[in-house]
Amino acid sequence: MQNYTLNGGRSPSTVAVVGMGKIGLPLAIQFAQQGRRVIGCDVNPKVVEMINSGQSHVQEEPELASAVASTVASGALSATLNTTEAVQQAGIVVVIVPVVIDANQEVNFQALDAATRAIGEGLQPGTLVIYETTLPVGTTSLRLRELLEGTARLRAGQDFLLAYSPERVSSGFIFRDLRNYPKVVGAIDEQSLAAAVAFYRSVLEADIISMASTDEAEFVKLIETTYRDVNIALANEFACFADAHGLDVVAAIAAANTQPYSHIHTPGVGVGGHCIPVYPHFLLAGAPLHPVGRDKSGPYAPDLGRDKSGPYESQGTFAKLPMLMLPRFARRINDAMAEYAVSRIEAIIGSLEQQSVLILGVAYRGNVREAAFTSARLLQDALRERGATVYADDPLYSEDELRAMGFRPLPPEREEEIRAIVLQAGHQVYQEYDFGRFPACRVVLDGRRALCRERIEALGMRYVTIGDGYRENAEMQRDLQSVSAVLYRRGSR
């Protein structure tokens, strides 16, 4: 690539961070604290206004509020609605705009495409563009490269540099994760890779892992998240088996995990968040749904022998299965756990028709104010299908916010009507929750194993967890032999 002289006020040390959300803002702070001038770009006027006034709109991240105030005061960080103008001033552009899935599990690039066009309109020769958004394999090298080149009228690898480095952090622990987790980096060519690696070495203490391409770096993140989804699904299957056979799955998993090659996760009432329930669909977007045989060109899943009983019976021929079978079914298993949990409650208290049930925690994870793809929605749907009146509580949200998300807050005068409680998010405050307010409650299903069994049982309530092995009755044993009945009744989300 040619060497270019930077124009006007443009500086090679200036970084434009496009997307100032829960990950983008901490990233901007990290860069600014390492001596970079950072311009944060966002389409939300309130976010921009708060940052420029020295305030953080992200509340869950330790150290962030004070860091925003100090970096803005020092002039190291500013924010703008004008992405194109910010890119014109920057030598490096880091993009962390979300990509989501729609109701049909199709990948929606709308926000990222718009951001990419805005970047392209301001892109200058010599600029390094790095995407950190989790993406389907091939997105950076094909879709985003084409958008940048078409908008900027520049050539990637010749006029500007293009790389990909997936964010690998968790909400509430972002600065810790930036320090500790190796940074995976891939690029479209060697010069882009060298520039991206040099940049991250200048702003991070973590090790750098260089990949052969942007495609391979995208694949890394999808492997990470899909592995967790599949692992949790396996734990949930073990939990259902344990319930059917009177076994304690957590004790069994803990013992199994003392073997160094066993790393089974924890079962529960479902999987939520921006990552684990979403990114497997990004992986599946690149895999054929229908079996492809050896007589046709392209990839295929392995023949697994004659299949006479499963869903892929092929009438006497050898079954050829769709690629990525495990991720497909893992998604369905994990989404089905909400209905499974409700069936356990129903086995204890009988029909839920016109019964009042309280869901504790609508956030997707304990102590995090974020409800993306929360299992609370699946629990609410499963309860309503059985005729229950469903209420929700979450100390991280106001009653108006709960209503806006489609949940019904519990009025104090209705507390005596609650017959069952499900803990969906293990907020720390629930450990001291006053369950004595619910005199008619017969069962508490602790979906995250976060409560004290003794405190619940001292109130005369049944304490239940997924996989605790309690045999409510013979009929329930038959129902819990496998989650398969639920799995095939409900499609993937």
CB of 376 within 8 A of CB of 424?
Answer: yes
SS3 content of the chain, % helix, strand, coil (to 5): 40, 15, 45
Mean predicted lDDT score pLDDT of the chain? 90
Phi, psi angles (nearest 5°) of residue 290 = -95, 145
Q: Can you give the pLDDT at residue 295?
A: 46
Residues 6+ apart with CB under 8 A from 431: 450, 451, 452
Which of 32-36, 296-300, 372-376 has the lowest average pLDDT?
296-300
Helix (H) or strand (E) holding 332: helix 325-349
pLDDT at 439 over 60: yes
Closest CA to 22 of 131, 112, 164, 133: 133
pLDDT at 296 over 80: no
Q: Can you give the pLDDT at residue 299?
A: 52
pLDDT at 413 over 50: yes
pLDDT tens digits, residue range 82-137? 999 999 999 999 999 999 999 888 999 999 999 999 999 999 999 999 999 999 99
Q: Can you give the pLDDT at residue 490?
A: 52
Identify the sign of the CA torsion 342, 345, 349, 354: negative
Tokens of 264: 């089974």
CA distance 126 to 119: 14
Q: Is 371 helix (H, G, I), strand (E, B) or coil?
A: coil
CA distance 224 to 335: 19
**Residue recorded with tokens 């204890």:** 348
Q: What is the mean pLDDT of residues 149-161?
A: 98
pLDDT at 215 over 80: yes
pLDDT at 151 over 90: yes
The span from the first CA to the last CA of the chain, in angstroms, equals: 45
pLDDT at 2 over 50: no
Q: Can you give the pLDDT at residue 171?
A: 87
Q: What is the mean pLDDT of residues 401-425?
A: 98
Which of 114-128, 290-304, 324-338 has the lowest average pLDDT?
290-304
pLDDT at 473 over 60: no
Which of 218-227, 276-285, 303-312, 390-399 has the lowest average pLDDT?
303-312
CB of 310 within 8 A of CB of 488?
Answer: no
Q: Can you give the pLDDT at residue 309?
A: 54
Q: Can you give the pLDDT at residue 301?
A: 56
Q: What is the mean pLDDT of residues 322-338?
A: 95
Q: What is the mean pLDDT of residues 417-441?
A: 97
Q: Can you give the pLDDT at residue 4?
A: 38
- Say how many CA atoms lie within 13 Å of 122 toward its Cβ: 22
Q: Can you give the pLDDT at residue 445?
A: 98
What are the residue numbers of the active site?
221, 275
pLDDT tens digits, residue range 8-22? 457 779 999 999 999
Q: Is 420 helix (H, G, I), strand (E, B) or coil?
A: strand
pLDDT band for 468, please (50, 70, 90 cuts). very high
How large a percentage of the chain has pLDDT more than 70? 87
Phi, psi angles (nearest 5°) of residue 210 = -90, 130
Q: What is the CA radius of gyration of the chain?
A: 25
pLDDT band for 302, please (50, 70, 90 cuts). low
Helix (H) or strand (E) holding 17: strand 11-18
CA distances, 28 to each of 31, 67, 471 (Å): 5, 10, 52
Which of 13-27, 43-57, 274-288, 409-423 has the lowest average pLDDT?
274-288
CA distance 424 to 179: 31
Report residue 101 CA to chain centroid gap.
11
Tokens of 8: 């006007």
Q: What is the mean pLDDT of residues 454-464?
A: 97
CA distance 232 to 375: 14
Which of 161-165, 245-249, 313-317 has the lowest average pLDDT?
313-317
pLDDT tens digits, residue range 240-256? 999 999 999 999 999 99
Which of 55-64, 98-107, 411-420, 468-477 has the lowest average pLDDT?
468-477
CB of 269 within 8 A of CB of 337?
Answer: yes
CB of 442 within 8 A of CB of 417?
Answer: no
Closest CA to 425 of 367, 377, 467: 367
